[in-house]
Chains A and B, each alone.
Chain A
Amino acid sequence: MTDELRKQADEILEKAIFAAAVFQQFEQDQTDRIVEKVFKAGFNSRLKLGRMACEETGLGIWQHKVMKNIIATQLVYESIKNEKTVGVISANDHTGIVEIAQPLGPVLAVIPVTNPTSTILYKTLICLKTRNPVIISAPRAAIQCCAETVRICYETALEAGAPEDCIQIIPAGSREFTQMIMAHPRVALILATGGTGLVNAAYSSGNPALGVGPGNVPVFIDVSADIPFAISNIISSKTFDNGTVCASEQSVIVEKQIEHSVIAEFEKQQCYFLSPGETRKVEHVAIDPDTGTMNPKVVGRPVSVIAELAGISVPEGTKILLAKLQGVGREYPLSYEILAPVLAFYSAKDYRDAIKLCIDLNYLGGIGHSAGIYANDEGRILEFSRIMNAGRIMVNTPTAQGAVGGIFNQLPTSLTLGCGTGGKNITTENITARHLINIQRVCRRKADVKYFSFDHSKYYDETLDADTIIREYNKNF
């Protein structure tokens, strides 16, 4: 069995490496033409693929899957189309350094079940833009929609002149096979988007990986905020695709003095605050008490389904369930990340306590990911941002749609959000095309005049200290 799997892996990677060899000969204009065609084909299939993803996985809302496909095609394309990714990408006459972009080689793209078609469209576009063949590792629960997305992209890419096998999909198989591919010596990079276990497997494979950490996004509503605006934004974000975006809000933190106004506004905008008894029932269905991880049965499900699973009754049309919690951690299961329309709610006695709660939530499984603040006090915005350990701090912005970039801000549009070393990632940036090139630096001789005019014998004089030497070194006459 293992030999058979290894043979399959070798075949896939052999095709990919041949594609890489051919692709590296392409010029920028050829590459851009392929990317544009694939973007358009993906965009034109946005409705079909959105519906397929929703029907096959049973997760989320099909219209929002369509929106994700639009983000992954139109907005990603807009953010990368003018980037130089082939040959000389910069030349600085002053420094004498010329930068040349080289492709990486075969990229293994691990796809999450929560955003299957959109993540394939996004990863395919950034790989093609950088002349890297991509191997799609699709989740079993979304194999049909993934295969269709790959088919559309691949056929279009071929028509546009891309190399054969520039896009491949790994048939739904065992975890062993995925790990075998991850560790394959011909894989240049793993783009890992998915659960913690899978991302860790990518990092442990021995191949370079760009992964994402899990999120647990706290959102602080300051007393200076426009409360109805804040609540409306939080709802639009947390209900987007039934909360499947890892950058979506997980908890709302307010100061006591505005607690009642915030609660009233949430209720006015059709959200429901759970009683303590109902909170316990939702805890039982939302979080596994042993592992502290969310129950897949609630991921991407609407409030009505979660309420039914929990055995509670909520008003029809309820958008989000909110649980008032007194603390953070294992004793308060709803303080963990839940990719569903369920929010933890905290009221702190003052600003300092509110921020300290945000720290606890930020460090409860969401280090480096994202955080949000609604405020019109610049001092507080800056202080909150300095304190949070988050790659993205969204100000007066829905975190789900804000963190992916392109809609509410000028961040590069991306469906893979780096979380920095806190999230065990190498970067806090939104992963995009420029992360998928090796940059060579051609360094022309530009001798340092100071270095060559300095009397080097002084370095060997023990009586001269650093201050004396630096003064001499920098002498300007």
Chain B
Amino acid sequence: MVKFDYHQEKKHLICKFSGRMDTNESLMIIEEVQNKIMELKQGKDDTSLLDEKIDFDMKESDFISSSFIRICLVVYKQTAEGKFSIRNCDPFLKKTFKIAGLDAMLKVS
């Protein structure tokens, strides 16, 4: 069972995912992730995040689907350059992002 948790410190949002982020689970959490981002935007629908930083913590996740990759891209597009990163990936997840050609852009570590 997938678990989504988050932690926010001022302008820094950390989203923690655990379990397999397969297509269904990803679709289930996308709204929740978007809501958290909207809160970070302080309800301003028409602005992108500038100073705010978002991290996806993948420490407890061992599988991602293409839907989850799309979520990553959506979040990336809403943040300023260098303000979004995906961290604590296990080596297999790191390789998944590497093969997708996204590891540098999404600052995968």
Contact = CB atoms under 8 A, between A and B. Distances in A.
Interface string B82-109: 0000000111101100100001100001
Contacts of A389: 95
Contacts of B104: 329
A352 interface: yes
B100 to A, nearest CB: 12
B98 A352 contact: no
A387 interface: yes
Interface residues of A, number: 11
Interface of A: 329, 352, 355-356, 359-360, 363, 383, 386-387, 389
B89 A356 contact: yes
Contact of B91 (A329, A352, A363): A352
Nearest to B101: A363
B90 A359 contact: no
A360 B98 CA distance: 8
Interface of B: 89-92, 94-95, 98, 103-104, 109
A387 B91 CA distance: 7
Contacts of A329: 104
5 contacts: A352-B90, A356-B89, A359-B94, A359-B95, A387-B95
A158 to B, nearest CB: 50
A355 B95 CA distance: 10
A329 B103 CA distance: 13
DSSP class of A's interface residues: helix, strand, loop or mixed? helix
Contacts of A387: 91-92, 95
A355 B91 CA distance: 6
Given A356-B109, A359-B95, 8 more contacts: A356-B89, A356-B91, A359-B91, A359-B94, A359-B98, A360-B98, A360-B103, A383-B91
Contacts of B103: 360
A413 B48 CA distance: 58
Contacts of B98: 359-360, 363
A329 B109 CA distance: 14
B12 to A, nearest CB: 22
Contacts of A386: 92
Contacts of A383: 91
Q: Which has the most chain B C-beta neighbours within 10 Å: A356, A360, A389? A: A356
A434 B89 CA distance: 41
Contacts of B109: 356
Contacts of A356: 89, 91, 94, 109
Contacts of B94: 356, 359
A283 B30 CA distance: 45
Contacts of B89: 356
Q: Nearest 4 pairs between A and B by C-beta?
A: A355-B91, A356-B94, A387-B91, A359-B95
A355 B98 CA distance: 13
B63 to A, nearest CB: 15
Contacts of A360: 98, 103
B85 to A, nearest CB: 14
A360 B104 CA distance: 10
Nearest to A384: B91
B88 to A, nearest CB: 9
